[in-house]
Homo-oligomer: A and B are copies of this chain.
Amino acid sequence: MTGPELHDLARRLFPICRSITGEGVRQTIRVLQEFLAIECKSVPSGTKVFDWVVPSEWNVSEAWLADSSGARIVDFADHNLHLLQYSEPFRGMVSRAELENHLHSLPDQPGLIPYRTSYYRQAWGFCLSEQQKKTLSDSTYQVQIATSLSPGVLNYGEYFVQGRSSEEILISTHICHPSLANDNLSGILVALNAALHFTRNPAHYSIRFVFVPGTIGAITWLATNQEKWAAIKHGLVLTGVGAGEKFHYKQSRAENAVVDRVSELTIRESGHPFTILPFSPYGYDERQYNSPGVALSVGCLMRTPHGSYPEYHTSADNLEFLQAGALDDSSALLIQILANLSANRVYQNLSPFGEPQLGKRGLYATNPDENMAFLWVLNLSDGSHSLLDIATRSQMPFGQIQIAAERLLEANLLKCVG
């Protein structure tokens, strides 16, 4: 799908009120299923998932705040950010003073509605712009919050692309945010796009895409899919890839895992400006995948790191902020990273005593770079260096090293050993 097609799809998904549970997640997965046979999995409320418990399902019928004249001045129907996520039901008149404890605004960004949640602390509240809040001068207000918090399920989407190997790459993106475009419709869309690509063009690795609510969803997926961990050799969390000039790659806990090295090399070779961030146990769901008992090699591909841009977690993270071009570039980059991970094999030189005679095999290239690529692959293919190692040491493009390896393989000068 092209960037503009992805942006059109974002337009359909944007109004849905996603949260960590509830109808919004299911609706979102249903739209994605128009493109790809994503499975919608359900885990019942109350299920113990490691140290956590799947919470009650939260759904919203209506939610509004009316002034003393009965005029609805803040309404969930207008913008789903207006309601504090996981607000418990409430109906009644409250004084302006009491209401103050339930209002969330951004004094420093007075025109924007903030995004706020209260998953694990019982509360209700409204989010509104500081400008609007300043106009609330009545002495009492009518509150109507018709939400339900009751046993249900937590949903996540999962899609598996079979590769030539049973070893897997995990791509995880969060699906729990309501009307925020970059964070994280962008991650959902770019993951969808890569899934479409590799479904048509299988690679060495199988690739497992999971669309999970943040934190609790990743933990739930881990807890209910423990038998899948062993096959996962590399992984990426994908988020905030629809806006921003630079790419940011956050390393896995190991910091020099293959996924870290391949991602950095691929981004560098793409020519895009970028920054490599060291691992930290805060951020997105890489926190869970890199926890010490899970210890998967999972990095995080972003353009915009959390909290680093003014639109973050506000109503300004909207469809205008989301760039079709960014979705395009990010898709291409993710696909290239996955392709490079898949191409990064280890070979063994079958003619390792001195150089083999390339000329008699028609491999004596007139292009000196092509020649050097042959010599580097032959020299370092002793069963312990991957193509990534060879590209890194030779400072030659990964693609050129990969092509040289393919030609040497055809000439029976190499065999694949890992």
Residues of A within 8 A of B (CB): 50-52, 120-121, 215, 218-219, 222-223, 253, 280-282, 287-288, 290-295, 349, 351-357, 359-360, 371-372, 375-376, 378-382, 394
Distance of A105 Cα from B281 Cα, bound (Å) = 63
Is there contact, CB below 8 Å, between B379 and A281?
yes
Distance of A360 Cα from B372 Cα, bound (Å) = 60
A269 to chain B, nearest CB (A): 20
A100 to chain B, nearest CB (A): 19
Distance of A359 Cα from B120 Cα, bound (Å) = 8
Distance of A407 Cα from B93 Cα, bound (Å) = 42
Distance of A356 Cα from B291 Cα, bound (Å) = 10
Is there contact, CB below 8 Å, between B354 and A52?
yes
Task: Note all chain B residues with C-beta closer than 8 A to A294.
Answer: 352-354
Is there contact, CB below 8 Å, between B120 and A352?
no
Is there contact, CB below 8 Å, between A349 and B381?
no
18 new A-B pairs (CB below 8 Å) besides A51-B355, A282-B371? A51-B354, A52-B357, A120-B357, A215-B355, A219-B355, A222-B353, A223-B354, A281-B372, A281-B375, A281-B378, A287-B355, A287-B375, A291-B355, A292-B349, A292-B378, A292-B379, A292-B381, A293-B349
Q: Given contacts A375-B282, A382-B292, are A223 and B50 in contact (CB under 8 A)?
A: no
Closest A-B pairs by Cβ, 5 of them = A293-B352, A292-B382, A281-B379, A281-B375, A219-B354
Is there contact, CB below 8 Å, between B222 and A352?
no
Is there contact, CB below 8 Å, between A380 and B292?
yes
- Residue pairs across A and B with Cβ atoms less than 8 A apart, 24 shown, are A50-B351, A51-B354, A120-B357, A120-B360, A219-B354, A223-B354, A280-B394, A281-B372, A281-B379, A282-B372, A287-B355, A287-B379, A288-B355, A291-B349, A291-B352, A291-B379, A292-B349, A292-B378, A292-B381, A292-B382, A293-B352, A293-B353, A293-B354, A295-B382
Is there contact, CB below 8 Å, between A288 and B354?
yes
Distance of A378 Cα from B351 Cα, bound (Å) = 47
Distance of A223 Cα from B352 Cα, bound (Å) = 12
Task: Note all chain B residues with C-beta closer than 8 A to A223.
Answer: 353-354
Is there contact, CB below 8 Å, between B379 and A253?
yes
Distance of A381 Cα from B291 Cα, bound (Å) = 10
Distance of A306 Cα from B240 Cα, bound (Å) = 50
Distance of A50 Cα from B253 Cα, bound (Å) = 45
A85 to chain B, nearest CB (A): 15
A297 to chain B, nearest CB (A): 14
Most central of A121, A353, A355 by chain B CB within 10 Å: A353
Distance of A287 Cα from B356 Cα, bound (Å) = 11
Q: Given contacts A281-B378, A375-B281, A375-B287, are A357 and B51 in contact (CB under 8 A)?
A: yes
Is there contact, CB below 8 Å, between A121 and B359?
yes
Most central of A51, A295, A357 by chain B CB within 10 Å: A51
Task: Note all chain B residues with C-beta closer than 8 A to A219.
Answer: 353-355
Question: Which chain B residue shows the least CB distance to A295?
Answer: B382
Distance of A280 Cα from B282 Cα, bound (Å) = 42
Q: Given contacts A290-B379, A292-B379, are A353 and B50 in contact (CB under 8 A)?
A: yes
Distance of A174 Cα from B85 Cα, bound (Å) = 67
Distance of A288 Cα from B52 Cα, bound (Å) = 55
Task: Note all chain B residues with C-beta closer than 8 A to A281.
Answer: 355, 372, 375-376, 378-379
Task: Note all chain B residues with C-beta closer than 8 A to A352.
Answer: 291-294
A204 to chain B, nearest CB (A): 23
